[in-house]
Amino acid sequence: MRFRRFFYRTAVLITFFALAGQYSLAPAHAENHVYTVKDISVDATAGSATEAKNLAISQGYQRAFKALVKRIVPQKDHAKVPLLNAKDALNYVLDISLSSERSSSVRYIAKMTVRFKESQTRSYFRNTGAALAELISKPVLVLPITRVEGKSSLWSESNQWRAAWGNLRATNGLVPLVMPLGDLEDISSVDAKGALAGDAGLWSLASKYGSNDVFLSIADIASDRNSAKLTAVRTGKFGEGRTYHLNISKTAEESTLKMLERGANSLNGSLQQDWKQANLLQFGVERWILVQVPIAGLQDWVLINHRLQDVPAINRLITRSINRNQVNLDVYFSGDERQLSLALAQKDLAMLLNENSIWELRLLNRPAAASSLTLPAQSEAPINPQDTVVDELTVPTQEINLGGNNEDVAPE
């Protein structure tokens, strides 16, 4: 009996180390969705349906490449990247998919998703001398509030500022935007006044939509509906609290809604630009840190390792040691510790300095299914998903200042 118990425990540990070793030797990057551009509209007319489709797909290659440049290259470096024609762009395409297809005998319309070859495309950008950012933010909840003649509205059907954000076309940016549905649960969570005050309901609403940040924006619309003063702030875990200001006026051809749509597009451009600028990859400068990873079993390590593979800043991982309670890693990365911490937080991993001044990596938001497949638990208590992450901003408890002294941000 004693021999059987010893054999069983030994077998469990051997299996643990063998599987853990298998996962730890995986490449440091999984498929990078940064290099996948979705929902490119194509529309072409030619002598036949086949010719129209071929022409439309060629257009899609060019438009997708242009969208990729806009996504990952800061605006100031756009001119450094020569835009490729369809034939040259095809050399960097891994595969495509088509949806919403419609065609006639001479016309073809569709939505096109293009997946670019990550390594080759990154090398092309680097050779141009352009800076790059590849970190995708967690979704940001957009909460648009309209003020007209002193009256604020958030959920009202007459809120044209909310309609403008809802009509914003997908931009394939690094900061995904989420609009609340405005259902009964949303309306019960927070109103315009509570949102501006940073009430708890605001963060419950954000959590419902999988967001840690809110892009709170106000449109002060003139009584004649011909102009508006726009103000917005990104606030929350990863927001820097920067305030954006923009004054807009209608052109002769525009409706009030179209004017507001133009304003929403400009604010979104500034938001995307700031995120890119803060998360530029620093090629040629590699840093190294030792990281301790407390785990409750193999399931934790597999999950953490999988998330690490999709962090662009990490160049390589080397496993120093591993046991059922902890993994010690050498992490080689580009940038600084702040950028790495922010990148890890987007993957629900918290990097903190422990009491021994050693970096420690903790798993956040463990999937419910993972809890049933663990080895004996460690004595140390797991981190709470709401615990502080390096450089995490405190959620405001007082009124959010949307009229600060920050400089105005021009449209992108």
Per residue in 174-229, pLDDT (tens digit) is 999 999 999 999 999 999 999 999 899 999 999 999 998 999 999 999 999 999 99
Q: Which two tokens stand for residue 172?
A: 């394939």
Higher model confidence: residue 103 or residue 387?
A: 103
Measure the N-to-C terminal CA separation of the chain; round to a whole number of Å: 72
pLDDT of 32: 55
Q: What is the pLDDT of residue 298?
A: 85
Q: What is the pLDDT of residue 383?
A: 33
The answer, yes or no, to whether residue 8 has pLDDT greater than 90, is: no
Name the DSSP class of 254.
-
More confident residue, 25 or 289: 289
Among the listed residues 322, 321, 328, 332, the one whose alpha carbon sits nearest the alpha carbon of residue 289: 332
Q: In the chain, count of helices (H) and strands (E)?
A: 11, 14
pLDDT of residue 10: 38
Quote the pLDDT of residue 213.
92
Distance (Å, whole) CA 213 – CA 215 = 7
- pLDDT of residue 162 exceeding 50: yes
Cβ–Cβ < 8 Å for 195, 145: yes
Cα 141 to Cα 324: distance, rounded to the nearest angstrom: 39
Task: Note if the pTM is more than 0.75.
Answer: no
At residue 239, the pLDDT reads 66
Residue 260 is predicted with a pLDDT of 96
The secondary structure of the chain in percent helix, strand, coil, rounded to multiples of 5, reads: 35, 25, 35
pLDDT at 64: 95
pLDDT recorded at residue 309: 87
Alpha helices of 115-237 — where are they, by DSSP H? 118-128, 160-166, 184-189, 192-197, 200-208
Gap between the Cα atoms of 60 and 46, Å rounded: 16
Q: Please check the confidence at residue 45 and state whether its pLDDT lies above 90.
A: yes
- What span, in angstroms and rounded, lies between the C-alpha atoms of 327 and 313? 20
Percent of the chain with pLDDT over 90: 58
Higher pLDDT pick, 237 / 360 = 360
- 252 pLDDT exceeds 70? yes
Q: Is 287 exposed, middle or buried (0-12, 13-18, 19+ CB in 10 A)?
A: middle
Domain boundaries, the chain: 2-30+282-372, 33-128, 140-278
Instruction: From residue 140, give the alpha-carbon distance in Å to each of 69, 214, 234.
Output: 22, 6, 8
Q: Specify whether domain 140-278 bears CATH 3.40.50.
A: yes
Q: What is the pLDDT of residues 74-93, one digit of tens each?
A: 999 999 999 899 999 999 99
Mean pLDDT of 262-274: 94
